[in-house]
């Protein structure tokens, strides 16, 4: 079970590190694009709403795997060549952004209309009232769903192995297929599951803590 344990830990550690930073950067990208999307969803200007709806519709209906293939194999043919990890972040980020946008939108809509009216009445523009009054409050209500989006993103990140990113699942696959059969299959499988738990369980824990603090602040 524990043959070549140090080699296995080394390989999985490298994979885990790649998974963590790809997920983190993708999530930041998703939050930024998602916040923009949410603002467009609730915008008074119809074209903004149409763009947001089209974007969300696209990414909620096309599988992430297809998106990664289109980015990695398709875009170079029209001249855009990037290394796999960049496509991975673009794919994961834009995909998750659609869901972040939906979540933030419902968060915004859950804020009492009175807040928006009060903001207008003290002279803030639509953009300013969103940035300073509405969104900060909306973020607090959306912490639990954002937390589960992050957990989902960690799991989705395993897909980027198909475009050649050496993340955790890719390393596991390499260990399982090792020519010299150096690694025990079950050790690898359990190790991978353990790694994903190591990443996701703390996320759930911190989300719950943040939730409780947000409630208290109200």
Residue with tokens 């703390």, as numbered in its chain: 202
The answer to whether 182 and 3 are in contact (CB under 8 A) is yes
83 contributes a contact to other proteins by CB under 8 A: yes
Rounded to an integer, what distance in angstroms lies between the CA atom of residue 93 and that of residue 153?
Answer: 9
204 contributes a contact to other proteins by CB under 8 A: no
Pick between residue 10 and residue 181 the one whose CB is nearest to other proteins: 181
Site string for other proteins, 35-74 (x = CB under 8 A): -------------------------------------xx-
Q: How far is the CB of 169 from other proteins (least distance, A)?
A: 11
Neighbours of 116 (CB within 10 A): 18
Number of shown-chain residues binding other proteins (CB under 8 A): 19
Pick between residue 173 and residue 204 the one whose CB is nearest to other proteins: 173
202 contributes a contact to other proteins by CB under 8 A: no
The count of C-alpha atoms lying within 13 angstroms of the C-alpha of 189, restricted to the half-sphere facing its C-beta, is 4
* Sole binder of other proteins in the list 2, 44, 77, 186 (CB under 8 A): 77
Site string for other proteins, 126-165 (x = CB under 8 A): ------------------------------------xxx-
Rounded to an integer, what distance in angstroms lies between the CA atom of residue 145 and that of residue 105?
Answer: 12
Non-local (6+) Cβ contacts of 53 within 8 A are 41
Q: How far is the CB of 13 from other proteins (least distance, A)?
A: 18
Pick between residue 37 and residue 172 the one whose CB is nearest to other proteins: 172
* Sole binder of other proteins in the list 153, 166, 168, 195 (CB under 8 A): 166
186 contributes a contact to other proteins by CB under 8 A: no
* Sole binder of other proteins in the list 25, 48, 51, 82 (CB under 8 A): 82
Give contact residues for other proteins (rule: CB under 8 A): 72-73, 76-77, 81-84, 162-164, 166, 170, 173-174, 177, 179-181
């Amino acid at each position: 079970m524990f043959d070549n344990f140090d080699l296995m830990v080394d390989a999985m550690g490298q994979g885990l590190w790649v998974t963590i930073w790809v997920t983190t950067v993708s999530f930041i990208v998703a939050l930024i694009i998602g916040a923009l999307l949410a603002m467009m969803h609730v915008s008074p200007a119809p074209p903004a709403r149409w763009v947001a709806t089209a974007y969300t519709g696209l990414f909620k209906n096309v599988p992430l795997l297809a998106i990664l293939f289109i980015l990695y194999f398709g875009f170079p043919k029209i001249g855009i060549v990037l290394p796999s990890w960049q496509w991975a972040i673009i794919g994961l980020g834009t995909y998750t952004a659609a869901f972040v946008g939906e979540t933030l939108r419902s968060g915004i809509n859950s804020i009492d209309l009175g807040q928006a009216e009060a903001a207008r009445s003290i002279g803030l523009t639509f953009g300013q009232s969103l940035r300073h009054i509405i969104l900060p409050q909306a973020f607090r209500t959306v912490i639990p769903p954002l937390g589960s989006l992050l957990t989902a993103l960690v799991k989705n990140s395993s897909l980027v192995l198909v475009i050649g990113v050496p993340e955790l699942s890719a390393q596991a696959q390499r260990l399982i297929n090792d020519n010299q059969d150096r690694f025990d299959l079950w050790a690898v499988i359990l190790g991978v599951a353990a790694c994903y738990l190591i990443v996701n369980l703390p996320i759930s824990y911190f989300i719950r803590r943040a939730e409780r603090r947000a409630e208290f602040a109200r």
